[in-house]
Amino acid sequence: MRFDLVDLQLFIAVADARSITGGADRAHLALASASERIKGLEQAFGVALFKRGRRGVELTAAGESLLDHARLVIHNVEAMRGDLARFASGVRASVLLLANTSGLSEHLPRALASFLREHPDINVDVEERESTDIAAAIASGAADLGFAAEHALPETIERFLFSEDRLTLVASRRSVLGGRRQIDFKDTAGHAFVGLTSATALQVHIGKHAARLGMRLHFRARLRDFDAICQMVAADVGVAVVPEAAARRCARSMPIAIVRIRDSWADRRLVICARNFKSLPRPAKLLVEHLRSTAVAR
């Protein structure tokens, strides 16, 4: 069985473009050369990878399977190149961790700080994403490690619990909702809100559930962190939805009330996830071990 990385990169390009011509352009290959390489791949595996039609090509079941493996192989090769390049520049390794808003702001900083102190030769790049996007990136092999809400993950992704993360409503103690202990989210309709910036993963999550309830949230202000949001709430600018950990921390120094949201989407289990923990690169495995021990100690 003979094929190379160029064949796999071309195969991915053709699959994404749904066209051998389009794939050849993306892979910077002549059409004749691209066609020969695709035929060679099919001969090497002994199966048809594409169904040809007038409007282009579609993957066969075998092609779908190869696409998953090909993306993973290319991702691992790129990770290998990156790690070796860092050796040459004096930095030994780097781990990419995708995290949702709550993880990035409330749950991860302390654990990551202690890991970085213990491993001065490893860097950690944390990128904020919505949990569903993290799940897709992990499943496709585009990322090694994620910190996400468990409900967004398919069964095929491995995970372990890091922390519970209830979303809660905060309101000024002087406001109409300040005396409530719990509330259905639909009952907040008509109230002014203070929220995160619109592109933030958590704000997207809240917005989706509001839309399902037929609600259009009116935001008086959008800010970048939970402390600033809670300060606005304390000043009776509006109400806000924030993680309970942030709400309790801010309530110690601000006149805000914490109101439990009864809707099921407000209860979230935050997990560390990977396609396969055993197959992770060594730096990522070290980070996983540290996060696992931190989760147990919480």
Tracing tokens 């780097």 back to the chain, one arrives at 94
Q: For 229-287, how does the pLDDT look when each residue is reduced to its tens digit (9 = 90+)?
A: 999 999 999 999 999 989 999 999 999 999 999 999 998 889 999 999 998 988 899 99
Q: Which CATH architecture has domain 82-163+269-297?
A: 3-Layer(aba) Sandwich (3.40)
Q: Which CATH architecture has domain 5-66?
A: Orthogonal Bundle (1.10)
Distance from C-alpha of 146 to C-alpha of 126, rounded to nearest angstrom: 9
Q: Average pLDDT in the 46-66 region?
A: 91
- Which range among 6-15, 43-52, 193-202, 236-245 shows the weakest confidence by mean pLDDT? 193-202
Domain boundaries, the chain: 5-66, 82-163+269-297, 166-267
pLDDT of residue 140: 85
pLDDT of residue 92: 63
Is the Cβ–Cβ distance between 170 and 250 less than 8 Å?
yes
Beta-carbon contacts of 230 under 8 Å, excluding residues fewer than 6 positions away, are 170, 240, 242, 246, 247, 250, 251, 254, 256
Torsions phi, psi for 199 (to 5 deg):
-85, -5
Q: Answer whether CATH 3.40.190.290 is correct for domain 166-267.
A: yes
Q: Do the domains spanning 5-66 and 166-267 agree at the CATH topology level?
A: no
Q: Is the pTM of this model over 0.75?
A: no
DSSP letter for 166, please. E
Give me 13's structure tokens. 């390009």
The whole-chain average pLDDT of the chain stands at 90
CB atoms within 10 A of CB 31: 12
Q: Average pLDDT in the 217-237 region?
A: 94
pLDDT of residue 6: 92
